[in-house]
Amino acid sequence: MDLATQLKRRGPITKVGVIGMGYVGIPSSVLFADVYPRIYGFQRDSKSSGYKVAMLNRGESPLKGEEPGLEELLKKVIKKGTYSCTTDFSKISELDAVTIAIQTPFKDPKDLIPDFSALTDGIRMAGKYIDKGALVVLESTITPGTTQGMAREILEEASGMIAGKDFALAHAPERVMVGRLIRNIQEHDRIVGGIDQESTKRAQELYTPVLTTGRIIPMTATAAEVTKTAENTFRDLQIAAVNELALYCEAMGINVYDVREGVASLKEEGVTRAILWPGAGVGGHCLTKDTYHLERGVTMLGPDHLDYPDGKESLFTLARAINDFMPKHMAHLTSEGLTRAGKEVKGSRIALLGWAFIANSDDARNTPSEIYRDLMQHEGAEVTIHDPFVEESWIENDLDPVLNGADVVAIFTGHTMYRILDPNMNGINHPLPIVIDGRNVIDAERFIQAGWIYKGIGRGDKNNHLVQFNKR
């Protein structure tokens, strides 16, 4: 029996499972539950994340940042009885489709070897329980060739069935950003790539009811893998371009934000110079490693066919190096600020504001704040950390104790509360306090007038200002 017949016999998709209850799996599963009659969210009962099961079944989101619409929709589908979270993976046998949304970090970017251990566990579990005619979709960002290669092999071995004959297999990469998860899934176009035409069609059927303004873009599984890694690589490249421009502007004594506005003003049909924002570094699960997935993909699938300038570094990996440098630049600005105040890094007290990598979120994966903290501590500084969303024993959620006695206030995240910081804040009693603005969130002139030493990313117009005695 061919796959088309298997799918026809199974009938329309009504029961769906999502493996992995994280930043992708949670919003995906509740959106499915809003349009399908039975959805299971699958979560391992581990020490680090097993708590999510009970929370989700109570209608409480484990994600602590601002996620408009998520918790409201979760409560709605719990009340409807269409959604539940479980540790019982055997329920996969009941499902028409199962999606897998598990992180795929790299063990070491230097050798471009990904850590697929959690993902392969999830794939193997799906293969163990899927029935004939089921659809398996990988939503995780993966190295090009993974769906047709490793994933297919594991599923066939675990199930005893053949992909493309007994069950459908596709890649439909997530395209979301924390802080707008629900909206992104509904409104962004959905890339869908099956291992064959029938798999692609079945995956289209799965995702179409969830979309509002977004459309389905069908392609092959490998093309879908390249699409996701490429779009994040290009964004990383754009950020690197403006970060390098910011460093140039600092060196030349001008304001990168003036330059940015001027460049972005060139608008004509077919002409754009869209330019992103510079900052203290790039974090998150995707941009920090998807370049390496793309690079690894070409070394695996097309090394004998790649025509490229001899001995030249990849433009994409060079961009990664620039973005990785930015928290080190923040450390340089901190050292310069302390020198202007007649102080050394060793023995100084630094208030690091923001551990999440993005504003108004609790997502701290691969945060550039960690690189800065380690550098400063290595140089002998005492670093205390504040974040209103990230819950760790060593992170303060109350700002006052972090600021108390600080020589330096280093802003790494654009949380809303940091945008209204008062230069006359409590706890700062030094005659020459220092602020390092990594996200351009404070009024530089206001702080300078209040007697602060100011250093900001790309602020060549202000970084060497005349130091004024503390007027507070």
Distance CA 340, CA 465 (A): 11
Distance CA 320, CA 322 (A): 5
Vertex 212, ends 83 and 133: CA angle to 5°?
Answer: 55
Rg (CA), the chain: 25
Report the relative pairing of strands 349-353 and 38-42 from DSSP bridges: unpaired
Residue 285, sorted as left (phi over 0), alpha (psi -120 to 50) or beta, turns out to be alpha
Question: Exposed, middle or buried, 388 (CB in 10 Å: 0-12/13-18/19+)?
Answer: buried
Distance CA 357, CA 281 (A): 8
Distance CA 12, CA 78 (A): 23
Report the relative pairing of strands 408-411 and 349-353 from DSSP bridges: parallel
Cβ proximity of 439 and 414 under 8 Å: yes
Cβ proximity of 397 and 386 under 8 Å: yes
Distance CA 462, CA 273 (A): 26
Catalytic sites, residue numbers: 228, 286
Cβ proximity of 152 and 123 under 8 Å: no
Contacts of 337 (CB under 8 A, 6+ apart): 408, 434, 436, 453, 455
Tokens of 260: 């940015």
Distance CA 323, CA 278 (A): 10
